[in-house]
Structures are given as C-alpha cells and as structure tokens.
Chains A and B, each alone.
Chain A
Amino acid sequence: MLLSTRDLTKAFPGTKALDAVDFDLKAGEVHALLGENGAGKSTLIKCLTGAYRRDSGDILFEGQPIFPQSTLEAQAIGIGTVYQEVNLLPNLTVAENLTLGHQPRRFGIIHPRAMRAQAEDMLAGYGLDIDVRRPLEYYSVAVQQIIAIARAVHLSGRVLILDEPTASLDAREVQMLFDVIRDLRKRGLGIIFISHFLDQVYDISDRLTILRNGRHIATHPAAELDRMQLITLMLGHELQHETATRHRPAVDPTDAIRFSGMGRRGRIAPFDLTVHKGEVIGMAGLLGSGRTESAEVLFGAVPGDSGTAEDTNGPVDLRNPRAAIAAGFAFAPEDRKTEGIIAELSVRENIILALQARRGWARPIPQAEQSRMANDYIKRLDIRTPDADKPVGLLSGGNQQKVILARWLAINPRFLILDEPTRGIDVGAHAEILRLIEDVVAQGMSILVISSELDELVAVSHRVIVVRDRQHVSQLTGEDVTTDTIVRAIAAPEAEPGSDSAATREVMA
C-alpha cells in the first residue's frame, strides 16, 4: 500500500468528523472519495495533508507511520494536493509559479533562464504548449489546474490529492485533465479524486470509497458498484425501523400556500409547489442538485427571479427574508455556523432574535420575558447548556440546531423550512429533532425538510420531492415514499455522461 489510514479519528466540538476510518491507496490507481457534505471527505484529506492534526489512529506511507504537521511536511513526504480553487499566484508567471520556493539561483539571485528551463522541464509530458513566461492568469482554469498538478507532482511525486478539480471546467477541459490524470496513474502515482459529478467519478476511477457521517462505509472497485448501489451507500439506510411508525394526518386541501414558477436562473429551474397546512414535505437529491437553492428561493434568502406565491389571503411577498418572515415563513439553513447561529451572542439572545427582529428595535422584549422564553425552550427542546447566558458558539452542533429551531418556534411560523436539520448531530439529538417535527406539525405547522438521509425523509414526510440537476424531477406520495423509490428517482434516467455533466456545470457556474 502506498498510503493507508488505520482507525483515523478526528473530533470537533459536538461532532465526530472522522470515526475510526480505514482507507487504502495503491500506487497506480485513481481512488475516488465519495460522500455527502459532512461525510468526512475534507477532514480526511486535511488529516492526510497535515492541515489538521488527527486525534488518534495511524497514517502509514509505504508502511511507515507518518505525522505530517503541515502541508509543507506532507509535501516533503510525497503527498501533494490540488484544490478546486487553484491556489497559485495568478499575477506571477507560469515559470515563477512552478518554481516558487526552489528557484534556481546564480550568485544568490534568481537565474531567469535556468528557471524557465526548469519550468518547461516540469511541464514536459503534460501535453501543454504554453509560454511559461506569461502570467498564470493568462491561461484558462483548466491549464492552471494542470500547472498546479505539475507543481504538486514535481514537489511530492507519490500521492496526488485532487479536491473537486473539475468543478469549474467544461467537458473538453475535463477530458484534458483526465488525460493528464491517466498518464500520472501510468507513472505509478496514487491519486485520490474527490468529485460530486458521478459521471466523472465512473469515468476516471479504479476504486471508490464511500464515507458517511465520518465513518468508512465501503470500498469497491468502480466496475463492481453500479450507480444505484453507490447512491444508496452514500445516503444510507440507518433509520429503517422508524419507517413503520409514520403516520399521515389528514391534510386540508383548501388551506395552502401555492408557489408557482418559483425559480432563479443558474440556481434552480422554475418549479411549482403547494404546501398544505400541517403537511411535511421531504426534499431529496444529491449534493449540488438544487435542494438548498429551492429553499433559498422559497424564503427569499436568494430571491427568485420568476414565480409567485399566494395563500388564501392573496399574494405572498418573498422579496427578502424579512418579507418571508412577515408572511409566517422560517428557514433553518444547512450551514449552521455561517448562516444560523450568532456564535458570540448568548443562547437567550439567539432564541429571542427572530422575534425581536420582527417586533422592531423600538419594542425590546423585556429581560424577564427573554429569560422566561429562553428557559422555556431550553427545557422543552432539552437544549444542553449550563445556563441561558452561555455564548451559543460553545454548544455542540445538535444543541446549536435546537437553539435555531427554538428561535423559529418563538415566532410561531406557519411554514418552516429545515435544510439538513440533523447533519452533524449525534444520534440522540437526531431523534429528538424528528420528534419535534412531528409535534409542531400536529399543531398545524407546515414543514419542508431537506435531507440526505433518506430514512429520515421517509420517516417524517407525507410526500417527497426529488431534485436532480437543478430541477424538481418527480414527486412521490403515499405508499411510493420509500427509500428505494427515492434512490431510483435520484439515479434514474442516466443521461449521456458528457452532455449531462456539461449541463450541470453550466448552471453551477
């Protein structure tokens, strides 16, 4: 084995990002690393490259344990990384970028001709016909990507980690990059490839490793795992037993919010949606499929450029979050840290914030009332905090999520959008949040749940909308709501690889 990890574990406050992960990379293979957001891919990479220090476990390079403390040390050992955003210096020349840090010198100063020769030498074999004296930014992202690879291979030369390298390339450029990768594979490098374009994964990879919730789920040769099995492994089947207990309360067809033609160019194709009172709608789809974008349009977080919304009282204004909140909407975003919690403010202040914002600055909620509300929700949602005045940033992920839920429950919305409400949350809090959803729905609230965990969707939803390639492609209702049908809807019709990924990329750009 070229590079292995054994029982690799890394925890962040409130969540185990990696839980005893075993991973093997052979020389001369392209090994794809797959998993949804928060599965642990980037944490694994960062542990391998020394950007994070692991909590426990071993990293073996050719059988020898290594302890990289920084990306520079990892490079010296032989592990090079190229990220999605090329991190070279666009205003320096190609030659300077390639030789930065080890420029050939004469009499103590840089020797331009030798530098150029060295740079051209480094690029030989990559099929690029470029002038190394030009600034890097003169060339396309694909060429920059290959230059970054050439630099990484030159400096490290054994293991190459490619993190979403194709995210901003077009179909032809992807092929160009893949030619380079195949060539490097032939030269005996071990290549770790991360991408959420499944077509590309199947196109280039020899083996696949799937991570979920920080755990190693499976490793298979790419040829032996079809797309459906892969998606099933990525999304998981962990809550199966709860499926039986789900109940579907009657829905009043007259009392509904109707969205029609809601969409935004480049983010999500126009879609229709009717949300009945007391209904839970699930939304499934892979990462980057347009789930979060749908929610953002519905809440006005990234307002739509088409479509209307109306309820029994007439049109609903969704220009911005303030308008949406005034209309009785609420949104718990996927990225809690940057879009949800106000880390430095206390649990109490975080809980009352939405209500205070709606009342306006001139009508402060009295201290006593704030404390009463905070303590009430801390008890009701079982938020684990020493007291209501602790900064919310000190709580664990699950408790932060409960604080955000409390914030929205405090304004008693009629339509609550939850984007990945249980991501990165321990099992106990997970079940409590699902129970909470059932409680508030019983009181007549409508909920849209976006989740990668299909069992969770099946357990709570009355119907499920499937999103693929930035479109709402199907809706499953009644007995059709099962993990199998959802997986099939996500994976089905397999488009022709080239055109499919090109289209996806176009809307993503």
Chain B
Amino acid sequence: MKGVFRRVAPQLFTLSAVIVLVSMFFPSFWQIVYVNDRLVGIPIDIVKRGAPVALLAIGMTLVIATRGIDLSVGAVMAICGASAAWSIDQGFGIWAALGIAGAAGLICGLWNGLLVAVFGIQPIVATLILMVAGRGVAQLITGGTILTFDNEAFAYLGSGTFLGVPVPAVIWVLTGIFFGLLVRRTALGLLVESIGVNLRASTLTGINSRVLLIAVYMGSGFCAALAGIIATADIRGADANNAGLWLELDAILAVVIGGNSLLGGRFSILASLLGAMIIQTINTGILLAGFPSEYNLVIKAVLVIIILVLQSPRLLPQFAVLWSRRRTSPQTKTLRAAMTEDRP
C-alpha cells in the first residue's frame, strides 16, 4: 500500500494543485448539494464528465505498458455507441445492445491485436487504420445520421445516478478496480510489463507474448466500448462523427500524466485514472473560470506542459531530494546514469 502511494504521489499532488487553482477562481468549488436523489456539485460533475477519458485511459495504460499505443479508441467508441443505438432502435432491448456494443469493442481490439502481434505492424500505424476507418464503419451503422433512441434503461447508464452518484462515475471506478485487480492479483501485470520491456527476451522465457498482446488490445477495445456506451446513453443518440472525437489523445495524455513511460514497462492504472481526473478538472476549471471559450485549448496546453515538465524524470529526482534526502543516494544515481547512457 505504501508503495502504491509513493507511486501516485506526484499525480495526487498535481491533482490537489489543480483543484486549489480552480477553487481560487471559483470559491464554491466544494459546494455539493443533494437534490432530487442526486448529488450536485462541481466535483461530481468532474467525475461524471471524466468517465470516457478515464475508461479509455485504463485500456490505454495496458497497451502503452506493452510499448504500444492505441489510436483507435475514439473511433471504437463511435462504433460501439452506434452499435448500441442501432440495437435499441431495432428493438433488441438493453441487454442485447450492451452485448453487441461490448462484442464490437472486443472485435475492434482483436483486429488491432492481430495487426500488431501477428503481422508485426507498428502499433501506431496498425491502430491508425481503425482510427480512420472506424468512423466510416460507425457511419455505416447509423446510416449517416445521428441515430436517436428512446430507452430509459439505456439512458440511465449515461445520465442516471446510483445512490446519488452519477452512473458513469460508478462505471469507471468499478472498471478501474476490476482491471486493477485483474492485473495485480494475477500474474498478468508482471507479464505485460515484461513484454513491454523486452519482447524478445520475454518470448524466450516462455511467455506467450503474442496472445498476451492481442488480449491487451482487446482489453483496450472493451474499455472503449464502455466509454462509447456512456457517451451514447448520455446524449440518447449515436453521433458517428463526434462521439469520442480526439479522446484517444486525451487518454494518452492521461496515461502520460500518470507517469507511465511511452517506452513500455512498469505501469499504474490508478495513476492514469488520476491523470484523467487532472485533465477533466482542468477542462471544467477553465469553463468555470469564465475565460472566453477561445482561450480554453491554449490554457489547457499551458497547464499540461507545466505538469509534464514538473513530472519529468529529469526533474523528479531533484524534487525527491528536496522532499526527503534519503531517497536517491548518489550511488544509485550514478548506476542509473550508467544504465541509460552506455549501452555498447
């Protein structure tokens, strides 16, 4: 537990700093009231609106841990949302809709996984294919229109509440816990980190790296399906052009803010989820602060740069020295330098 806290300390610190910053512009940040069986307040809004990026970040963390990347998740959201809306529209009912959407996400992940693991295509290119083609597929499903539907049970997933908490927030927290337990209570996490650090050596050690890679991309597709369901349920309609648009980039950003290396290896799903919340707090905060909307993206970019610079591996040891002097002894520092520099 102590190790986990130490791992996510920079993200917790950043999140607190961003919240303090937002509260300065908007003092009533922490005002949460209970009306009509639901909690209402800015923090509640953040955990609800951050749901799609948080869900995508879960799958993206695993993909990035294998030294890959999944650019298709935004398009997969659109495909899965469209599939769900289509099923409801056809009168198949909510369970069939969820099943079909989930299956669509898994199939998309299987496609990406096959391209990467079997055909050896670089992940960024392999998933780019579905990123571009996926919106076309989604449009084919919706017939080129925004496919709206009327189904209270399905809409509940997007705008309902459970014990006062928005359902999307419940979904991402439960999904995060599920994946967290799945990778840390089994050996999956270790095996994923191993193939991310050294695929060849891992294969020679007897790890079934091909199957593992495919499974990881399927996990990412499944998370995208959940995100797509929430996005579709929230607006009670599937918009093939805009559902999940550019969210793959926010998801990657969340993983990076979570301190996970794009070079693969060690990962923390919790840290990525905190990263997603940091991004959403910034988004919401900018809106609340009442800046003209044309400033939003620029302000977000500036904040992201500041966060990444503060968390960069080059600067982090120096903060750590300030924080507590015993953590990085000069000896481990030179060892680390030797390890990264001279590789004959």
Question: What CA separation (Å) do A42 and B344 show in the bound complex?
Answer: 9
Question: What CA separation (Å) do A319 and B87 show in the bound complex?
Answer: 44
Q: Which residues of chain A come closer than 8 Å to B206, judged between CB atoms?
A: 321-322, 325, 354, 357-358
Question: What CA separation (Å) do A52 and B341 show in the bound complex?
Answer: 11
Q: In the complex, which of the residues A42, A43, A320, A339 contacts B201, with contact meaning CB atoms closer than 8 Å?
A: A339
Whether the pair A322, B208 counts as a contact (CB closer than 8 A) is yes
Whether the pair A342, B187 counts as a contact (CB closer than 8 A) is no
Other A-B pairs beyond A322-B206, A349-B194, 4, CB < 8 Å? A333-B204, A339-B200, A353-B207, A394-B339
Whether B343 sits at the interface, judged by CB under 8 Å, is yes
Question: What CA separation (Å) do A479 and B193 show in the bound complex?
Answer: 49
B201-226 CB contact bits vs A (8 Å, 1 = yes)? Answer: 11111111000100000000000000
Whether the pair B197, A357 counts as a contact (CB closer than 8 A) is no
Chain B binding site: helix, strand, loop or mixed by DSSP?
helix
Q: Which residues of chain A come closer than 8 Å to B200, judged between CB atoms?
A: 338-339
Whether the pair B186, A361 counts as a contact (CB closer than 8 A) is yes
Whether the pair B204, A339 counts as a contact (CB closer than 8 A) is yes
Known contacts A345-B197, A353-B194, A357-B207; A365/B344 CB under 8 A: no
Whether A340 sits at the interface, judged by CB under 8 Å, is yes
A333-345 CB contact bits vs B (8 Å, 1 = yes)? Answer: 1000111111111
Q: In the complex, which of the residues A321, A337, A359, A361 contacts B188, with contact meaning CB atoms closer than 8 Å?
A: A361
Whether A13 sits at the interface, judged by CB under 8 Å, is yes
Question: What CA separation (Å) do A391 and B266 show in the bound complex?
Answer: 11
Whether the pair B187, A364 counts as a contact (CB closer than 8 A) is yes
Q: Which residues of chain A come closer than 8 Å to B338, judged between CB atoms?
A: 13
A interface, size bucket = 35 or more
Q: List 9 A-B contacts (CB under 8 A).
A: A338-B201, A342-B194, A343-B197, A345-B193, A345-B194, A353-B194, A361-B188, A362-B186, A394-B335
Q: Which residues of chain B come closer than 8 Å to A361, judged between CB atoms?
A: 186-188, 191, 212
In this complex, the member of B204, B335, B344 whose beta carbon has the largest number of chain A beta carbons within 10 angstroms is: B204
Question: What CA separation (Å) do A177 and B317 show in the bound complex?
Answer: 52
Question: What CA separation (Å) do A43 and B208 show in the bound complex?
Answer: 36
Whether B198 sits at the interface, judged by CB under 8 Å, is yes
Closest beta carbon of chain A to B210's beta carbon, Å: 9
Whether the pair B190, A356 counts as a contact (CB closer than 8 A) is yes
Interface positions of A from 67 to 84, Cβ below 8 Å from B: none
Closest beta carbon of chain B to A389's beta carbon, Å: 10
Whether the pair B204, A344 counts as a contact (CB closer than 8 A) is no
Q: Which residues of chain B come closer than 8 Å to A394, judged between CB atoms?
A: 332, 335-336, 339
Q: Which residues of chain A come closer than 8 Å to B194, judged between CB atoms?
A: 342, 345, 349, 353
Q: In the complex, which of the residues B191, B198, B336, B344 contacts A356, with contact meaning CB atoms closer than 8 Å?
A: B191
B154-179 CB contact bits vs A (8 Å, 1 = yes)? Answer: 00000000000000000000000000
Q: Which residues of chain A come closer than 8 Å to B185, judged between CB atoms?
A: 364
Known contacts A13-B338, A354-B206, A361-B191; A344/B186 CB under 8 A: no
Q: Which residues of chain A come closer than 8 Å to B193, judged between CB atoms?
A: 344-345
Question: What CA separation (Å) do A353 and B207 show in the bound complex?
Answer: 8
Residue of B whose beta carbon sits closest to that of A353: B205
Q: A: which residues have CB within 8 A of B?
A: 12-13, 17, 42-43, 46, 52, 299, 301, 320-322, 325, 331, 333, 337-345, 349, 353-354, 356-365, 391, 393-394, 407
Closest beta carbon of chain A to B263's beta carbon, Å: 9
Residue of A whose beta carbon sits closest to that of B190: A349
Chain B interface residue count, CB cutoff 8 Å, equals 30
Whether the pair A321, B203 counts as a contact (CB closer than 8 A) is yes
Q: Which residues of chain A come closer than 8 Å to B228, judged between CB atoms?
A: none
Q: Which residues of chain A come closer than 8 Å to B339, judged between CB atoms?
A: 13, 343, 391, 393-394
Q: Which residues of chain B come closer than 8 Å to A338, judged between CB atoms?
A: 198, 200-201
Question: What CA separation (Å) do A12 and B335 show in the bound complex?
Answer: 11
Q: B: which residues have CB within 8 A of A?
A: 185-188, 190-191, 193-194, 197-198, 200-208, 212, 265-266, 332, 335-336, 338-339, 342-344
Closest beta carbon of chain A to B51's beta carbon, Å: 28
Question: What CA separation (Å) do A394 and B343 show in the bound complex?
Answer: 12
Whether the pair B343, A364 counts as a contact (CB closer than 8 A) is no
Whether the pair B208, A342 counts as a contact (CB closer than 8 A) is no
Residue of B whose beta carbon sits closest to that of A359: B187
Q: Which residues of chain B come closer than 8 Å to A333, judged between CB atoms?
A: 204
Closest beta carbon of chain A to B342's beta carbon, Å: 5
Closest beta carbon of chain B to A243's beta carbon, Å: 32
Whether the pair B191, A357 counts as a contact (CB closer than 8 A) is yes
Question: What CA separation (Å) do A244 and B203 show in the bound complex?
Answer: 40
In this complex, the member of A340, A342, A407 whose beta carbon has the largest number of chain B beta carbons within 10 angstroms is: A342
Question: What CA separation (Å) do A361 and B207 show in the bound complex?
Answer: 9
Q: Which residues of chain B come closer than 8 Å to A343, judged between CB atoms?
A: 197-198, 339
Closest beta carbon of chain B to A265's beta carbon, Å: 21
Closest beta carbon of chain B to A455's beta carbon, Å: 25
Question: What CA separation (Å) do A359 and B335 show in the bound complex?
Answer: 34
Whether the pair B201, A331 counts as a contact (CB closer than 8 A) is no
Question: What CA separation (Å) do A154 and B75 show in the bound complex?
Answer: 54
Q: Which residues of chain B come closer than 8 Å to A391, judged between CB atoms?
A: 339
Question: What CA separation (Å) do A393 and B185 show in the bound complex?
Answer: 26
Whether the pair B344, A17 counts as a contact (CB closer than 8 A) is yes
Q: Which residues of chain A come closer than 8 Å to B335, judged between CB atoms?
A: 13, 394
Q: Which residues of chain B come closer than 8 Å to A52, judged between CB atoms?
A: 342, 344
Residue of A whose beta carbon sits closest to that of B187: A364
Q: Which residues of chain B come closer than 8 Å to A13, judged between CB atoms?
A: 335, 338-339, 342
Question: What CA separation (Å) do A430 and B187 show in the bound complex?
Answer: 33
Whether the pair A340, B186 counts as a contact (CB closer than 8 A) is no
Residue of A whose beta carbon sits closest to that of B343: A337
Q: Which residues of chain A come closer than 8 Å to B207, judged between CB atoms?
A: 322, 353, 357
Q: Which residues of chain B come closer than 8 Å to A46, judged between CB atoms?
A: 344
Question: What CA separation (Å) do A344 and B198 show in the bound complex?
Answer: 9
Closest beta carbon of chain B to A342's beta carbon, Å: 5
Q: Which 6 A-B pairs have the closest CB atoms?
A: A357-B206, A325-B206, A364-B187, A357-B207, A344-B197, A344-B265
Closest beta carbon of chain A to B98's beta carbon, Å: 26
Residue of B whose beta carbon sits closest to that of A393: B339
Whether the pair B201, A342 counts as a contact (CB closer than 8 A) is yes
Q: Which residues of chain B come closer than 8 Å to A364, judged between CB atoms?
A: 185-187, 190
Closest beta carbon of chain A to B292's beta carbon, Å: 45
Q: In the complex, which of the residues A43, A301, A342, A363 contacts B344, with contact meaning CB atoms closer than 8 Å?
A: A43
